[in-house]
Amino acid sequence: MNLRRKPFGLGRAVLLLCLLGLADAAVARTPVPDLAPTLAPAPADALADWNAHGRAEGLARPDTPCQDFLQALGKKPDYVEYLGCEQDDDSYIQPMEARYRVSGDAAAKMEAYLGQAFGMPPLEYVCCGWGNRGPFFWHDGPGGVNYEVSMGVETLRIPREQWGEIPSFNVRIGVIRKSP
């Protein structure tokens, strides 16, 4: 049986805690439609707040589109398939995550590339698959964005030399746009 799981990084853990808190709050109150427009900051206010605080914290600009982050950074190898980007504007931290797939045959090459381009440590086999031991972040220079970089696959214990037998590995590049 070849089970696969998504890596559960720090961003996802924070997101889960925020969503659980929002769910409890939503049950306890009835939304007031007239106040909803006043709760969201105007784009100019969001950008000013980002310039004042978010940039130094490594947050993505509030107007950053959900996109192929590897391509946008000029760091996308041709053997990586972009699957799409997910964003959650309803979450307090407003995360975005680009998802990719790389074949098992190219997995070692991708692991080496992520190590060279982003400083990601080698994957380890833990419990149920190959992946990052914990969340790994790459900072895009001084005043730049903090990217969460992960790679992995849920699988039986297959030696690194036999990764070609695994159909594909998942790669994820994530950012957040608001401070937790």
CB atoms within 10 A of CB 35: 8
Residue 161 is predicted with a pLDDT of 95
pLDDT, residue 22, reads 40
Long-range contacts of 44-53 (CB under 8 A, 24+ apart): 50/177, 53/179
Q: What is the pLDDT of residues 19-67, one digit of tens each?
A: 334 444 333 333 433 333 333 444 778 788 787 777 888 888 888 999 9
Residue pLDDT, tens place only, 115-166: 999 999 999 999 889 998 878 889 877 778 999 999 999 999 999 999 999 9
What is the pTM (predicted TM-score) of this model? 0.72
Of 37 and 71, which is predicted with more confidence? Answer: 71
Cβ contact 94:88 at 8 Å = yes
Looking at residue 136, what is its pLDDT?
85
